[in-house]
Chain A
C-alpha cells in the first residue's frame, strides 16, 4: 500500500509552453499533497502544500501564478508550470499525506527540461 505515482516521469518542452504534472495517490486518499523542487545535487525545497477542495499554500518566494496547483480530488493533485523557461528545469517531486497513518509518501519524481 501507500503508492504515489507521478506522470510524466520526464518531459522536455519549449520555452514559453506550459507543462502539467500529475500526482496520484493510488491506494489511499490524501487531503494534503506537497510539491517539492530539487535542483541538481541539492536538497528538496517545499514549493507548496496542496489541499483538497481549497487553494494551495505556497512557500515564500514561490510564484503562485507561475506554478499553478490544483487538488480537485482526494487522489489527484496537479502542478502546472506556466510559460516555462529554462530556469524552471528541475526535478519535481510530490508527496501525499495519508491521515490514517499520519505520514507522507513520495512519488518517483518528474524531470522537467525546458529548452
Chain B
C-alpha cells in the first residue's frame, strides 16, 4: 500500500526567507510524486510533479522539489517566501500501476510579513 507522511502540521517562515515543506513516501516500485496547494474553500491547485528524470523538479510560482530516492523524500522548497504563499500544501503519491492519489495530511504554511 502506498502512503505519504507530512511530519509538520504547520511551517512558519518570514517573508523573503527560504521555505521547506517536508514529505516522505512509501510505495512499491518507482513513485509518481505530486505537490498541490489549497487556498481556503478552494480546490487543489497543481504545483509540480516528479515522474522520472532530473531529481530537482521546478514548478509553478517559483516552487521546486527534490526527489531523494534513498531517503524516500520529496520536500517542497522555495528560495524566497511570499506572504501570498500562505496556504495548505499537500504532498501526494501515486503508484504507476494505479490512477488514484494518496495524500499526506497537509502542512499549513504561514508566511509572516
Contact = CB atoms under 8 A, between A and B. Distances in A.
A111 B106 contact: no
Interface residues of B, number: 18
Interface residues of A, number: 21
A6 B45 CA distance: 15
A96 B6 CA distance: 25
B47 to A, nearest CB: 12
B99 A104 contact: yes
Nearest to A4: B43
Contacts, number: 43
A97 B101 CA distance: 11
B100 A43 contact: no
Contact of B42 (A49, A95, A105, A109): A109
Contacts of B41: 91, 109, 111
A43 B99 contact: no
A11 B99 CA distance: 29
Contacts of B43: 6, 93, 106-109
Interface of A: 6, 32, 34, 41-44, 46, 49, 91, 93, 95, 97, 103-109, 111
Q: Which 6 A-B pairs have the closest CB atoms?
A: A108-B43, A106-B44, A109-B43, A106-B43, A43-B105, A44-B103
Given A32-B99, A43-B105, 13 more contacts: A6-B43, A42-B105, A43-B104, A49-B100, A93-B43, A104-B101, A105-B46, A106-B36, A106-B43, A106-B46, A108-B42, A109-B41, A109-B43
